[in-house]
Amino acid sequence: MKFEDIYKAYWDRIFRLCMGFVNDYDIAQDLAQETFIIVWQKLETFRNESGIGTWIFRIASNNCLRQIERQKRFPKSALPLHLTEEKQYSLEPQIQFLYKCIAELPETDRIIISLELEDVKQSEIAKIVGLSETNTRVKIHRIKEKLTEKFKENGQQ
C-alpha cells in the first residue's frame, strides 16, 4: 500500500482520535501529522502481523500518550479562553462537548472510546490497548454510560 493511499484513508480518523485525547484542534493536527511522519518513516518495517489500521492507530495512540506525558511535565500557561478554543468553534457544540468529555477520561478509556468512535473492530481495540475482547467490550459499555450521563447532566441531547 502506498503512503499517499494510507494518508488519504486514515487522516480524518487519526485526527479525530487525537482530538479525543487532547481536545485541542492545533495540538491534534500536530499529533496527527507526527503520526503520519512516523508511519512514513516506518512503513517499510510494517510486517502485516496486524491490519495496517491497527498499526497506525497504535502509533497514534502512543504518540498521543507521549504528548499527554509532556503536558503533565510542562503544562502550558493559561491562555485566555478565546485563544485556546478559537479554532474549535468550527465544530458543532455537541461534538465539541463530546471531545471535552473524552479528554477528561482516564488515558486507557480515551484510547478505547476514540477507537470505538472510529469504528475500529473491538478485537482490534483489544490488541491496541492490550486487554481481552471481553474486558474491552465491558469498558466500552461503561465509558458510553459515563459519557451519556455527562450529556444528560449538561442538558445535551
Sign of CA pseudo-dihedral 13, 28, 35, 33: positive
In which domain, by residue range, is 92 found?
A: 3-153
Quote the pTM value: 0.63
155: phi > 0 → left, psi -120 to 50 → alpha, else beta; which? left
Q: In the prediction, which pLDDT does 78 show?
A: 41
Is the CB of residue 118 less than 8 Å from the CB of residue 13? yes
For the cut 70, the answer to whether the pLDDT of residue 3 exceeds it is: yes
For the cut 50, the answer to whether the pLDDT of residue 82 exceeds it is: no
**In this predicted model, what pLDDT tens digit does every residue of 9-29 receive, in sequence order?**
999 999 988 988 888 888 899
CA–CA gap between residue 43 and residue 54 (Å, rounded): 13
CA–CA gap between residue 146 and residue 157 (Å, rounded): 14
Percentage of the chain surpassing pLDDT 90?
29
**In this predicted model, what pLDDT tens digit does every residue of 91-126 receive, in sequence order?**
677 778 888 888 888 888 988 998 888 888 899 888
Sign of CA pseudo-dihedral 50, 117, 38, 41: positive
Residue 116: count of CB within 10 angstroms of its CB? 19
Q: How many domains does the chain have?
A: 1
Q: In the prediction, which pLDDT does 30 show?
A: 93
Residue type (1 letter), 99: Y
Is the CB of residue 131 less than 8 Å from the CB of residue 72? no
Instruction: Work out the pLDDT band at 7, boundaries 50, 70, 90.
Output: very high
Instruction: Work out the pLDDT band at 88, boundaries 50, 70, 90.
Output: very low
Instruction: Work out the pLDDT band at 86, boundaries 50, 70, 90.
Output: very low
Half-sphere exposure for 131 (CA within 13 Å, toward CB):
16
CA–CA gap between residue 78 and residue 24 (Å, rounded): 14
DSSP 96-124: HHHHHHHHTS-HHHHHHHHHHHTT--HHH
